[in-house]
Chains A and B, each alone.
Chain A
Amino acid sequence: MATPPETSDANLLEVRGLTKIFGTLKACDHIDLTIGKGEIHALLGENGAGKSTLVKMLFGTLEPNAGEILWNGQPVRISNPHIARKLGIGMVFQHFSLFDALSAAENIALSLDDKTPISTIAAKAKALSYSYGLPLDPHSLVGDLSVGERQRIEIIRCLLQAPELIILDEPTAVLTPQEADKLFETLERLRAEGKSILYISHRLEEVKRICDRATVLRHGKVVDHCDPRQETAASLARMMVGSEVQAVVRPPVEDANNQAALLEVRKLSRAPATPFSIPLRDISLDVRAGEIIGIAGVAGNGQGEFFEAVSGEVQQADAGSVRIRGKDAGRLSITGRRLLGAAFVPEERLGHGAAPRMTLSENMLLSRHATDRKAFLGVAGVVRKHAISTASQRVIEEMDVRKSAPDPEAASLSGGNLQKFIVGRELDRRPAVMVINQPTWGVDAGAAAHIRQALIELARSGSAVLVISQDLDELFEISDAIAVMHNGMLSRPIPIAEATLEKIGLLMGGAEPGHVEHSREPA
Chain B
Amino acid sequence: MRIELVKRPQRSALFSALSPFIALALTLVAGAIMFSLLGKNPLDALYYYFIDPLREVWSLHELAVKAAPLILIAIGLSVCFLSNNWNIGAEGQFIMGAVAGSILPVMYPDFQSWVVLPLMLIMGMAGGAAYAAVPALLKTRFNTNEILTSLMLVYVAQLFLDWMVRGPWRNPQGMNFPETRNFHEYAILPEIWASSGRAHWGFIFALVAAVAVWFMLSKTLRGYEVKVLGQSPRAGRFAGFSSAKMVFFAFVVSGALAGLAGISEVSGAIGQLRPTISPGYGFTAIIVAFLGRLNPLGIVAAGLVLALSYLGGEAAQISIGVSDKVARAFQGLLLFFVLGADTLIHYRIRFVATGSRKLEASHGNA
Contact = CB atoms under 8 A, between A and B. Distances in A.
Interface in A81-124: 83, 86-87
B222 interface: yes
B343 to A, nearest CB: 15
A369 interface: yes
B221 A365 contact: yes
A74 B366 contact: yes
B231 A358 contact: yes
B235 A353 contact: yes
A9 B364 CA distance: 20
Interface string A51-76: 00000000000011011100100111
B238 interface: yes
Interface residues of B, number: 28
Interface string A260-287: 0000000000000000000000000000
Contact of B220 (A83, A350, A382): A382
Contact of B228 (A75, A87, A355, A412): A355
Contacts of A234: none
Contacts of B238: 311, 313, 334, 344, 346, 352-353, 366-367
Given A68-B359, A75-B362, A346-B238, A351 B232 contact: yes
B10 A77 contact: no
Contacts of A496: none
Interface residues of A, number: 51
A23 interface: yes
Interface stretch (A175-183, A186-194, A401-409): A401-409
A66 B366 contact: no
A212 B11 CA distance: 43
A380 B366 contact: no
A438 interface: no
A35 to B, nearest CB: 17
A393 interface: no
Contacts of B159: none
A140 interface: no
Given A381-B221, A381-B222, A382-B219, A77 B240 contact: no
B8 to A, nearest CB: 9
Nearest to B9: A412
A77 B234 contact: no
A71 B364 CA distance: 12
Contacts of B236: 355
Contacts of B219: 382-383
A218 interface: no
A377 interface: yes
Nearest to A370: B240
A353 B238 CA distance: 7
B365 interface: yes
A422 B362 CA distance: 46
A412 B10 contact: yes
A259 interface: no
B237 interface: yes
A267 B224 CA distance: 37
B360 interface: yes
Interface in B138-197: none
B293 interface: no
A333 to B, nearest CB: 6
Interface in A322-373: 333-335, 338, 344, 346, 348, 350-358, 362, 365-367, 369-370
Interface of A: 22-23, 63-64, 66-68, 71, 74-77, 79, 83, 86-87, 311-313, 333-335, 338, 344, 346, 348, 350-358, 362, 365-367, 369-370, 377, 380-383, 404-405, 408-409, 412
By Cβ-Cβ distance, the 9 closest A-B pairs, closest first, are A335-B240, A75-B362, A381-B221, A76-B366, A351-B232, A381-B220, A77-B363, A355-B235, A366-B239
